[in-house]
Amino acid sequence: MDEGGADVDPIGMGLVTKAASEEATKVGGHLLTRVFGPSADEIGTALARWTAYRVGNVKRIVEGADRKGGDREGGVSPRVAHRVLEDGSWSDDTVVVDYLSGVLAGSRSLDGRDDRGVVWCTLISGMSALQLRAHY
């Protein structure tokens, strides 16, 4: 990471996201138990599935970006990383994952400050999977 904190390692981001999700699930579970009592188990199970779903989608995007980016040097702007991972975590469609992993891979720059991918992520996220398939 450079002094400005601009470089983002997509693989590391995925691992951090997973760890944060696991910790949030633990903390959230205690809060749910206090608030909902016995029904908290059902809610906790649903939240765990939801978290696993999103983390799984992020993992697929990051793995795709790694394949597409190869040995390309540099990092990804935090703005791009945030948009790709936040928007992409909600979709398990293979074409959406493919497009967003391409944005993530293409957003690597030596200084990690190139944030042009934000526009592409906004465009992709604004389209349905069906619309993206028509373009694909």
- The tens digit of pLDDT for each residue in 104-126 reads 999 998 888 899 999 999 999 99
> Is 3 domain-assigned?
no
pLDDT class of 21 with cuts at 50, 70, 90: low
pLDDT class of 88 with cuts at 50, 70, 90: very high
> Is 120 domain-assigned?
yes
> Is 1 domain-assigned?
no
Strands 75-76 and 108-109, how do they pair?
Answer: antiparallel
> Is 2 domain-assigned?
no
Q: Is the pLDDT of residue 43 over 80?
A: no
| Torsion on CA atoms 64, 68, 73, 76, rounded to nearest 10 | -50
Is pLDDT larger for residue 31 or for residue 68? 68
pLDDT class of 29 with cuts at 50, 70, 90: low
> Is 4 domain-assigned?
no
> Is 16 domain-assigned?
yes
pLDDT (mean) for 66-93: 90
Number of domains in the chain: 1
Give the per-residue pLDDT at 1: 46
- Long-range Cβ pairs for the range 40-44 (8 Å, 24+): none
Average pLDDT, the chain: 81
Domain with 82, as residue range(s), is 10-135
